[in-house]
Structure 1
Amino acid sequence: MPLFTFRGVPEEKVQEYFKKVGEIAQLVNADVKQFVFWCEDTKLIGNGYDKDAIYVSIEWKGRPLKQEVVTMHIQEFFGSLSKHIYVKFTEINSFLYINGDVID
Protein backbone atom coordinates (compact mmCIF):
# COMPACT_ATOMS: atom_id res chain seq x y z
CA MET A 1 0.00 0.00 0.00
CA PRO A 2 1.83 3.11 -1.17
CA LEU A 3 1.24 6.08 1.14
CA PHE A 4 2.17 9.43 -0.42
CA THR A 5 2.48 12.49 1.84
CA PHE A 6 2.85 15.89 0.20
CA ARG A 7 4.22 18.98 1.93
CA GLY A 8 4.54 22.40 0.34
CA VAL A 9 1.89 21.63 -2.28
CA PRO A 10 -1.59 23.19 -2.40
CA GLU A 11 -4.34 20.64 -1.79
CA GLU A 12 -5.82 21.37 -5.22
CA LYS A 13 -2.57 20.26 -6.88
CA VAL A 14 -2.49 17.05 -4.82
CA GLN A 15 -6.11 16.38 -5.86
CA GLU A 16 -5.08 16.96 -9.48
CA TYR A 17 -2.10 14.62 -9.13
CA PHE A 18 -4.31 11.96 -7.55
CA LYS A 19 -6.14 11.76 -10.87
CA LYS A 20 -2.91 10.26 -12.24
CA VAL A 21 -2.83 7.46 -9.68
CA GLY A 22 -3.62 4.96 -12.46
CA GLU A 23 -0.40 5.94 -14.24
CA ILE A 24 1.62 5.54 -11.05
CA ALA A 25 0.01 2.16 -10.31
CA GLN A 26 1.06 0.91 -13.75
CA LEU A 27 4.61 2.22 -13.27
CA VAL A 28 5.07 0.25 -10.04
CA ASN A 29 2.74 -2.69 -10.79
CA ALA A 30 0.39 -2.04 -7.87
CA ASP A 31 -3.38 -2.01 -7.41
CA VAL A 32 -4.71 1.52 -7.87
CA LYS A 33 -7.12 0.97 -4.95
CA GLN A 34 -4.17 0.59 -2.57
CA PHE A 35 -2.83 4.15 -3.00
CA VAL A 36 -3.37 6.72 -0.27
CA PHE A 37 -2.47 10.40 -0.61
CA TRP A 38 -2.03 12.75 2.36
CA CYS A 39 -1.73 16.49 2.01
CA GLU A 40 -0.09 18.33 4.89
CA ASP A 41 -0.19 22.09 5.17
CA THR A 42 3.33 23.02 6.24
CA LYS A 43 5.77 25.86 5.88
CA LEU A 44 9.48 25.42 5.16
CA ILE A 45 11.68 27.29 7.60
CA GLY A 46 15.40 27.21 7.09
CA ASN A 47 18.42 29.28 6.29
CA GLY A 48 19.27 29.04 2.60
CA TYR A 49 16.27 26.93 1.59
CA ASP A 50 13.90 28.00 -1.11
CA LYS A 51 10.50 28.85 0.29
CA ASP A 52 8.74 27.05 -2.57
CA ALA A 53 10.35 23.65 -1.95
CA ILE A 54 8.21 20.53 -2.14
CA TYR A 55 8.71 17.43 0.00
CA VAL A 56 7.09 14.13 -0.93
CA SER A 57 7.37 11.16 1.39
CA ILE A 58 6.45 7.73 0.04
CA GLU A 59 6.01 4.78 2.36
CA TRP A 60 5.57 1.47 0.58
CA LYS A 61 6.62 -2.11 0.27
CA GLY A 62 10.13 -1.91 -1.13
CA ARG A 63 10.38 -1.38 -4.88
CA PRO A 64 13.97 -0.15 -5.31
CA LEU A 65 13.87 -0.50 -9.09
CA LYS A 66 10.79 1.73 -9.29
CA GLN A 67 11.93 4.63 -7.09
CA GLU A 68 13.54 6.62 -9.88
CA VAL A 69 10.54 6.17 -12.19
CA VAL A 70 8.14 7.44 -9.51
CA THR A 71 10.48 10.33 -8.66
CA MET A 72 10.56 11.42 -12.31
CA HIS A 73 6.75 11.18 -12.51
CA ILE A 74 6.47 13.49 -9.49
CA GLN A 75 9.14 15.83 -10.87
CA GLU A 76 7.36 16.15 -14.21
CA PHE A 77 4.02 16.97 -12.59
CA PHE A 78 5.18 19.35 -9.84
CA GLY A 79 8.23 20.82 -11.61
CA SER A 80 6.33 23.97 -12.59
CA LEU A 81 5.64 24.70 -8.90
CA SER A 82 9.18 24.36 -7.61
CA LYS A 83 12.76 23.81 -8.71
CA HIS A 84 13.44 22.04 -5.41
CA ILE A 85 11.51 18.80 -5.05
CA TYR A 86 12.62 16.33 -2.39
CA VAL A 87 11.33 12.76 -2.58
CA LYS A 88 11.96 10.29 0.23
CA PHE A 89 11.11 6.58 0.13
CA THR A 90 10.62 4.46 3.23
CA GLU A 91 10.02 0.72 3.12
CA ILE A 92 7.22 -0.38 5.43
CA ASN A 93 7.37 -4.11 4.71
CA SER A 94 4.86 -5.70 7.14
CA PHE A 95 5.08 -2.74 9.53
CA LEU A 96 1.82 -1.03 8.55
CA TYR A 97 -1.40 -1.78 10.38
CA ILE A 98 -4.89 -0.65 9.39
CA ASN A 99 -7.66 -1.21 11.92
CA GLY A 100 -5.38 -3.58 13.82
CA ASP A 101 -4.54 -5.80 10.84
CA VAL A 102 -1.06 -5.94 9.35
CA ILE A 103 -0.88 -5.04 5.68
CA ASP A 104 1.30 -7.52 3.76
Structure 2
Amino acid sequence: MPILSFRGVPEDRVQEYFKKAGELAQMINSDVKNVVFWHEPSKLIGNGYDKDAILVTIDWIGRPLKQEAVAKHICDFFANDSKHIYIKFTEINHLLYLNTELVG
Protein backbone atom coordinates (compact mmCIF):
# COMPACT_ATOMS: atom_id res chain seq x y z
CA MET A 1 0.00 0.00 0.00
CA PRO A 2 2.03 2.97 -1.19
CA ILE A 3 1.02 6.26 0.38
CA LEU A 4 2.35 9.33 -1.45
CA SER A 5 2.25 12.70 0.30
CA PHE A 6 2.94 15.89 -1.66
CA ARG A 7 4.18 19.21 -0.24
CA GLY A 8 5.06 22.35 -2.16
CA VAL A 9 2.84 21.61 -5.14
CA PRO A 10 -0.71 22.86 -5.80
CA GLU A 11 -3.57 20.45 -5.22
CA ASP A 12 -4.63 20.56 -8.88
CA ARG A 13 -1.18 19.26 -9.92
CA VAL A 14 -1.49 16.41 -7.40
CA GLN A 15 -4.93 15.65 -8.88
CA GLU A 16 -3.37 15.56 -12.36
CA TYR A 17 -0.62 13.24 -11.17
CA PHE A 18 -3.20 10.99 -9.52
CA LYS A 19 -4.40 10.16 -13.01
CA LYS A 20 -1.09 8.31 -13.38
CA ALA A 21 -1.70 6.14 -10.32
CA GLY A 22 -2.32 3.18 -12.61
CA GLU A 23 1.12 3.59 -14.15
CA LEU A 24 2.69 3.72 -10.69
CA ALA A 25 0.77 0.68 -9.53
CA GLN A 26 1.87 -1.32 -12.55
CA MET A 27 5.48 -0.17 -12.10
CA ILE A 28 5.60 -1.46 -8.51
CA ASN A 29 3.33 -4.48 -8.95
CA SER A 30 0.56 -3.16 -6.72
CA ASP A 31 -3.19 -2.95 -7.10
CA VAL A 32 -4.12 0.62 -8.08
CA LYS A 33 -6.79 0.55 -5.36
CA ASN A 34 -3.96 0.43 -2.83
CA VAL A 35 -2.24 3.61 -4.05
CA VAL A 36 -3.12 6.57 -1.82
CA PHE A 37 -2.29 10.23 -2.45
CA TRP A 38 -2.28 13.01 0.17
CA HIS A 39 -1.97 16.69 -0.58
CA GLU A 40 -0.33 18.54 2.29
CA PRO A 41 -0.40 22.34 1.92
CA SER A 42 2.81 23.73 3.34
CA LYS A 43 5.33 26.50 3.04
CA LEU A 44 9.07 25.97 2.83
CA ILE A 45 11.08 27.97 5.33
CA GLY A 46 14.69 27.99 4.22
CA ASN A 47 17.54 29.95 2.77
CA GLY A 48 15.68 30.70 -0.46
CA TYR A 49 17.70 28.83 -3.05
CA ASP A 50 15.04 26.17 -3.34
CA LYS A 51 11.95 28.17 -2.39
CA ASP A 52 9.94 26.34 -5.04
CA ALA A 53 10.98 22.91 -3.79
CA ILE A 54 8.65 19.94 -3.79
CA LEU A 55 8.79 17.16 -1.23
CA VAL A 56 7.18 13.82 -2.00
CA THR A 57 7.22 11.24 0.76
CA ILE A 58 6.37 7.66 -0.01
CA ASP A 59 5.46 5.24 2.73
CA TRP A 60 5.37 1.71 1.39
CA ILE A 61 6.34 -1.90 1.78
CA GLY A 62 9.98 -1.74 0.73
CA ARG A 63 10.71 -2.13 -2.97
CA PRO A 64 14.37 -1.10 -3.26
CA LEU A 65 14.61 -2.15 -6.90
CA LYS A 66 11.67 0.11 -7.82
CA GLN A 67 12.70 3.30 -5.99
CA GLU A 68 14.71 4.82 -8.83
CA ALA A 69 11.95 4.20 -11.41
CA VAL A 70 9.31 5.73 -9.12
CA ALA A 71 11.53 8.75 -8.40
CA LYS A 72 12.06 9.29 -12.13
CA HIS A 73 8.31 8.99 -12.80
CA ILE A 74 7.58 11.68 -10.21
CA CYS A 75 10.41 13.97 -11.34
CA ASP A 76 9.41 13.70 -14.99
CA PHE A 77 5.87 14.79 -14.16
CA PHE A 78 6.77 17.68 -11.84
CA ALA A 79 9.90 18.88 -13.70
CA ASN A 80 8.18 22.06 -14.89
CA ASP A 81 6.94 22.84 -11.38
CA SER A 82 10.32 22.88 -9.64
CA LYS A 83 14.02 22.32 -10.11
CA HIS A 84 14.25 20.89 -6.60
CA ILE A 85 12.19 17.73 -6.13
CA TYR A 86 12.97 15.81 -2.98
CA ILE A 87 11.65 12.25 -2.76
CA LYS A 88 11.84 10.34 0.50
CA PHE A 89 11.00 6.65 0.79
CA THR A 90 10.04 5.12 4.13
CA GLU A 91 9.49 1.40 4.53
CA ILE A 92 6.44 0.58 6.62
CA ASN A 93 6.84 -3.18 6.53
CA HIS A 94 4.36 -4.62 9.06
CA LEU A 95 3.81 -1.20 10.67
CA LEU A 96 0.71 0.19 8.96
CA TYR A 97 -2.82 -0.43 10.20
CA LEU A 98 -6.04 0.70 8.54
CA ASN A 99 -8.64 0.90 11.28
CA THR A 100 -7.45 -2.15 13.26
CA GLU A 101 -6.27 -4.31 10.35
CA LEU A 102 -2.61 -4.72 9.46
CA VAL A 103 -2.24 -3.62 5.84
CA GLY A 104 1.46 -2.90 5.47
Structure 1 residue 44 and structure 2 residue 44: aligned?
yes
* Deviation readout 1:78-99 (Å, 9 max, x if unpaired): 0000000000000000100111
Identity %: 65
Counterpart position of 2:89: 89
Counterpart position of 2:16: 16
* Deviation readout 1:2-46 (Å, 9 max, x if unpaired): 000000010000000000001111111110000100000000001
RMSD: 0.8
Counterpart position of 1:100: 100
Normalising by structure 2, report the TM-score: 0.97
Structure 1: stretches of 5+ with no match in the other structure: none
Counterpart position of 2:77: 77
Structure 1 segments (4+ residues) deviating >4 Å: none
Give, in whole Å, the separation in 1 of the partners of 2:6 and 2:22. 18
Give, in whole Å, the separation in 2 of the partners of 1:50 and 1:68. 22
Give the deviation of 1:48 after TM superposition.
4.3
Normalising by structure 1, report the TM-score: 0.97
Give the deviation of 1:49 after TM superposition.
3.6
DSSP-derived class of the 2:47 partner: coil
